[in-house]
Each structure stands twice: as structure tokens, then as C-alpha cells.
Structure 1
């Protein structure tokens, strides 16, 4: 493929690591490329002339994961020197030109805030690796085309970055400070998605409930007001949001669970630990009691809400007593899903310098204990749903058996039901739950 825009179809392979924000960013990269040139998304690197790697720096050894992937792609480029390789995301933001030193065959390196520059960077005639990992604030969204919907569900980023500076987290350094998108611009994108058949929108942000904007009549708007406006868009029947922070969960947002039925009965609200001592060391800015107070108020307004959270086990200084406090919180709140990990020090964060005396064996034991408890609670909730009628958004055919269709409940459970009518995909149906399996539910129309 040449360096300039041409009439050939560009074949792109995208590998995405990490969170839903990265999934959204990858889809927007594809939108950008399609706006510039006829572009086909392919399933294997060998069939592509552009390889895009969207990276994540949250977990341990994230950098090595990137270089292992690039090592595999080098063979593709060796066999076809015209193939271009571009690396984006948070590892790109962290490492910058250091990537090109270890992997000089990479053509483009860009950060989360400069993905809008990808086409011009690819079309540059320079033979040197192009690097742009700057933070040009909201310019990224000003330069993106309206998205192309791929299904009845869609992500919509409303803000980026984080200004909380938890002691373990790299996000403020890789994504920048909190920046909110224009209120009307978000509504335009949501309407555009609805016109393409999207029925469920998931509002995204590293700290999504820190969203602040101005309405058309110049009034202050937080996430609750944004949700209310999106709920009024014809065709949008479900709204989710992730990821939120407890210290930004104000009463306006709590009350919206009573006022807006389109907001689903599922909330992901990371707490990280059930110990006040560890929360203070993490610089989370809240106590366990304050977290439980938020949950109590939400459950009062939406009694059957499904709750999930993030947990870090083995944070430096965590004792058995601290971990027991986390387990008590898990059982008291009744979380039925968790994203839980053993703590891994991220270079450049304050927690990286803390003394860690807990053995890996003990950390693994704590993680297994936590995950087992959450799985047990999830199983109990799934079993309690047997015999109930659930409103399902049909998302496609079942991956395991094409005689079945698959969808999701409001509380975010996957349901498979026997049906070969593909016309139902993208719409809602009522399904009676007949069985609870480890990772899904079975139902009948």
C-alpha cells in the first residue's frame, strides 16, 4: 500500500487490549480510516496491509505484552514490507519513542488523545517512525466523524481522563486529566446511533460520573442530566454507564435510578478494598461507610439492581484483617460480578515505592477466595431468576449453537434461547428463564 490516499481498499487488522474505552477508540479509528478510504476489517494479520495495536497499561507486564505482539507482527512485515504497523493506546502514551527503539519497524505511535491524527500520520512520506502522544484536550472529538453502528448496542465516550490520582493508577498519566465532551455533541452522536438501530448505549469515561457540561440554554449539566436527555431520544431503550467513582456519585445521579426507567438495573461501582486503612493508602478519597451509604440509597430507589465492582488484593500493607474486611463488604453488598486482580506496581505511581511483604502464594489465595465468594453470589442470583420473564435485547446468534439466539438482560446476564428467527436480532423479546449455567442463562420464548 502506498503512502498517499488511493482508490484501493485498505485492509485493516485491529488488536485491542484492555477496557471498553479502548474498544470505543478502536471503533473510532476504523471510522476515521473509512472516512478517508475504502476500508475492510480483516480477521488475520496476514491478510492486512495495516496492523493496529491499541494497548492498555493497567496490568503488570503490559509493555512486554505489547512487544511480544509486535514481535509476532514483525514476521508479517518481513514477508510484506508494504504493511504498516501503528501502535496506540496507553502503553504508547507511556513509552512513546521508546517503542520505536525496541521495535524500529513500527511506523506510527500515537496516544489516546491523538488517534484523530492517525490518517495523516499514516499518509506521511517520512520513513521515520511518526510519534504523537500529546494531550491536545478535546480536539480528538472535534476531529472524529460520526460513528458507524455495528450492532444494537454501542459505546459512547462522554469524558476522558481522570484527576483523582489514586496511588496505584497510571490513568492520569496515560489519558490525562478529566475532560468532558460538549453536551450537544454527545446528544448528536446518541441520536445518530439511534437512527442506525442502536437500542442500548453505554456511556463511557475513566471517571464517567465526573462528567460536566453545559446544556443548549447554558445550564450546568452533570451525568444525571445527560442520561435524562439521552433517555428522551427515540429508539434508545437502555442506558448504561461505566466506570464511575464513589466520590462523584451525587444524589442527582442516585435519584436518576428512580426517575429514568431506561437506565438499566445494573451498576458497576469500583471500591477496590473493604478496608478503610487500605482505601486511605490507595488515596481513594472515601471510606467503606460512605461507599455503603451510596449503595443503600441506590437500592432504595432500585431494589433489584445488580451490583459489580473492582477489587485489588495484596495491595502493599494489606493484612489478613484488611482482606477479611473486603470479604465482609462483598457479602454485605451482594456483588454478583467483580473484576479482581492481584496488585501489580505500575512504574511512576506513588504506590510503586511502598513496601510489599505479602507472599505471592498468599495473594493468590486471597484472590481465589474473593472470586469464589462472588461466583457463589452470582450463582444464587442466577438461580433466583429461574421461572422469571426477562426482557432480552437480542444481540445475535449463540456462539456455541447457531440454533439458539443470544441476548442480555437488564442486569447484564447473557441468555441463550432456542430460536432460528434472525429477524429478532437487534430488538427486544420476553424470555422465560429455564436454567442457570455457570456463565449464562437458558430461556424459552
Structure 2
């Protein structure tokens, strides 16, 4: 688990985004400390109202980068003028606020506490389906807190999902350290069966499957892809963190999969689904990563072209085997991270650009956005923002057909049709 320090500047919207970042970090088992010098990571949520504010943000970013191991910069100035931080040679990653929680985790699994129960947050229901995982990654400290996978029966999870839907949930988020190994402790891979039964619950809702490591998915990839294809309640979205394009590095990480297994998962979903979102993670600068290894990761990124990508610079976690390895220099990690992040932006921007002019049917309004806007998700869990939402009478929980009219790097804009 990571100790984090967060600073927020600017408007109510920024403060709301910081609260959401913190909520997700707490859900993942991380905890807040006062002061960047005590933290593993620092988060700077920036404002860009006037030139003086911009100078203050740059200065504070420089200070924080010197006080902590990793700095993540988000907010208005980061997104509108990210090049200013790069020009000032600030040693930090510029991210959309929605990417910050996963970047902070350093590729680790989320942590589910022993007493984790479903919660309803607005129209979003959070459903932890199991605790623990089957992995023993050399860089991950989460395993020390969670242990091996412990999978409740399908019937128990279905009843929890039904209760969330009856309570008003329109989106069920399936969570766990590794959803793909649900049932492994009983010798029965059954994520696909659980999803199929949840989709049979009466009501209008959507289901998003949380992180599933490639090894767990690989063994049930055809069954899982078939369930996705047959059930419109499921977002056609898969988060399968590959972490590296090099089998040598994956071995040193003690990841259970190899690159070809990840590619086979992607190909299976490509065959089954016409329109879907692949999400993956890369850890850049693992201690044993060579230039050749990094090149292989870049090649895999461009080959599979995931539409959502989390790029994290490796940092040591106390008590893990990887913490004992001789690390790469900060400059090397920074350069590799920059190269991959630039490729990421190109790929994701292209994916959203391809949506412009299309009509996405039955998008779910998930939550309020900034000012008079709402955030919607289409069938592949891609984010579409509707501005002037009150003019259309849109509220969280509504389903709406949207014509995509424009895009930014990480999301699109749409209007009801």
C-alpha cells in the first residue's frame, strides 16, 4: 500500500475530483499522510486561472518533485498546459484525474478489506466479488495484506448485485484483487458464470468488470468473450494489465502470464466483439528492464492498441523482493515513461477521434460533471460528456442515445439524438 499526499488548488470541481481520487485510493488500501516528505507519492491538482497561479503551480510542482519519490500532476493546468511542466523539467507525470488512482498503485492489485461489502455511490454500485489473488508479483505489497483468493459462492454475489440494483444502482462495478481468478480456490474458474447470472437480474443496468490479470482470463477467454457478446448489460470492456512486453521482465516480476497469452486474450475478444475497449497497464523502468525490453513493450502497445492505458514508473515498495534489486536511474525511467505516455496519448486520442460522427446508443448517465454537464458511458465504457445537460433533462441513471460531436484525448463530447 502507498502513503499519499494530495494538494488541491482552484475551484469546487477540482476539489470534487480530489475527493474522488482519495476515495478510490482508500478503497485500494492506500492511506493519506500530511506532508510530501512522508509520502511515497504526491498528487498535485492544479489550477490555471491567471498567469500568477500558473507560476505558483510550476513552483509547487518543482518543490513536490524534490520531496517525494513520485509526483502525479492533474487538474486544469496539467491538462491544458501540460507542456509547461515538461518544459520546466518537472520530474512528474501529467495525468487526467481519472488515471491518478491506478497510477498511484504502481501496478499493484487493489486491496479489498476483510469486511468489504457492496456500497451504493449515487447510481454506481460497488460489488467486491472476492478477496485476495493467486499471484506473487515481486513488486507488489498488496499480497501481504490479502493472501490467497477467497471466493464466495456465485449465489451470494448475485444476491448482493440484486440488492444493489433494487436499491437504485444502474451501474454495477465488479471489483477484487483479480476478478479473473474468481473461483480458483475451489478449482473452478467461474467469472463468466457469475457475470451471466448477474445479467439475468431484472432491471435496466450495466456491469463493468474490474481488473483481471491476463493469466486468469486466458483460461476462460472464449467463455468470457461469449458472455460479453451475448449480454448487453455487460460493458464491452476488459482491464487486463500486461505490465511489460518482455517475457524476461514478466519473469522477473513473477507475473504468471507471458506476452503471447495476453495477445491471445485480445485476439479472442477482437473476434467476438465488434466494438470494445481494451484497458491495460505497463510498469516502466522495472529494475531488470533493458532497452530491448522497453522496445518490446512499445511494440506490444502499438500492436494491441488498448484504448485505455495506465503507464506507471516503477517505484520500490518496502518488504517486496523487487525493492532489493538494483534500480534503474530516474532519468532512464523518466525517458521511457515519457516515450510510452506520448504513444499512449496518440493511441487513445485516435480511438476517441474515430467515434466522432457516430451515434452511440443507450449510453448511461453515470454522474454529474463540471458546471452543467454529465458524464456518460457508452457500451464499451468510453466516456462521453454532455454539456448543458439540464436543457436535455439528463440526470444520473438515465439512458440516452448520443451523437459524438467532438473529442479530447481521454473522452468525447456528445449530444442527445
Q: Does TM, scored on the shorter chain, surpass 0.5?
A: yes
For 2:272, the equivalent position in structure 1 comes to: 301
For 1:382, the equivalent position in structure 2 comes to: 352
Q: Give distance in 2, aligned partners of 1:279 and 1:380.
A: 28
The 5 Å alignment of 1:343-358 reads: 343-356=314-327, 358=328
For 2:377, the equivalent position in structure 1 comes to: 408
For 2:38, the equivalent position in structure 1 comes to: 64
Q: Give distance in 2, aligned partners of 1:192 and 1:320.
A: 51
Among 199, 215, 229, the alignment partner of 1:258 is 229
1:164 CA displacement: 0.8
Please list every run of 5 or more consecutive structure 2 residues that lacks an aligned counterpart in the other structure: 1-17, 44-110
Structure label with greater radius of gyration:
1
Q: Give distance in 1, aligned partners of 2:119 and 2:178.
A: 25
User: Aligned-pair RMSD on alpha carbons?
Assistant: 3.0
Distance change in 2, residues 1:254/1:439 (3 Å): closer
> Residue by residue, what CA displacement relative to the aligned partner does 1:69-114 show, whole Å, maximum 9, x if unpaired?
9xxxxxxxxxxxxxxxxxxxxxxxxxxxxxxxxxxxxxxxxx9645
1:413 CA displacement: 2.6
For 1:242, the equivalent position in structure 2 comes to: 210
1:364 aligns with 2:334: yes
Kept in 1, the 8 Å contact 2:215–2:256? The answer is: yes
Give secondary structure in 2 for the equivalent of 1:160.
coil
Range moving further from structure 2, 327-336 or 260-269 = 260-269
> Residue by residue, what CA displacement relative to the aligned partner does 1:370-404 show, whole Å, maximum 9, x if unpaired?
111111111111111011111321123331x21x3
For 1:55, the equivalent position in structure 2 comes to: 30
Q: Give distance in 2, aligned partners of 1:219 and 1:153.
A: 31
Q: Give distance in 1, aligned partners of 2:189 and 2:261.
A: 24
Please list every run of 5 or more consecutive structure 1 residues that lacks an aligned counterpart in the other structure: 1-13, 26-53, 70-110, 115-139
1:362 CA displacement: 1.5
The 5 Å alignment of 1:93-172 reads: 113=113, 140=115, 147=118, 149-172=120-143
Kept in 2, the 8 Å contact 1:246–1:286? The answer is: yes
Q: Give distance in 2, aligned partners of 1:284 and 1:444.
A: 43
Q: Give distance in 2, aligned partners of 1:442 and 1:68.
A: 31
Distance change in 2, residues 1:62/1:350 (3 Å): farther
> Residue by residue, what CA displacement relative to the aligned partner does 1:404-425 show, whole Å, maximum 9, x if unpaired?
3331222233222233154543
Q: Give distance in 2, aligned partners of 1:56 and 1:339.
A: 21
So what's the TM-score if we normalise by structure 2?
0.71
1:435 CA displacement: 0.4
> Residue by residue, what CA displacement relative to the aligned partner does 1:176-205 show, whole Å, maximum 9, x if unpaired?
221112322211111111112212211111
Among 178, 190, 194, the alignment partner of 1:226 is 194
Distance change in 2, residues 1:406/1:67 (3 Å): closer
Give secondary structure in 2 for the equivalent of 1:317.
coil
> Residue by residue, what CA displacement relative to the aligned partner does 1:113-172 show, whole Å, maximum 9, x if unpaired?
45xxxxxxxxxxxxxxxxxxxxxxxxx36xx5xx55332222100011123101111111
Q: Give distance in 2, aligned partners of 1:19 and 1:353.
A: 31
Kept in 2, the 8 Å contact 1:395–1:406? The answer is: yes
Name the structure, 1 or 2, with higher relative contact order (CA <8 Å, separation 6+). 2
Q: Give distance in 2, aligned partners of 1:65 and 1:222.
A: 39
- Tell me the matched-pair count: 324
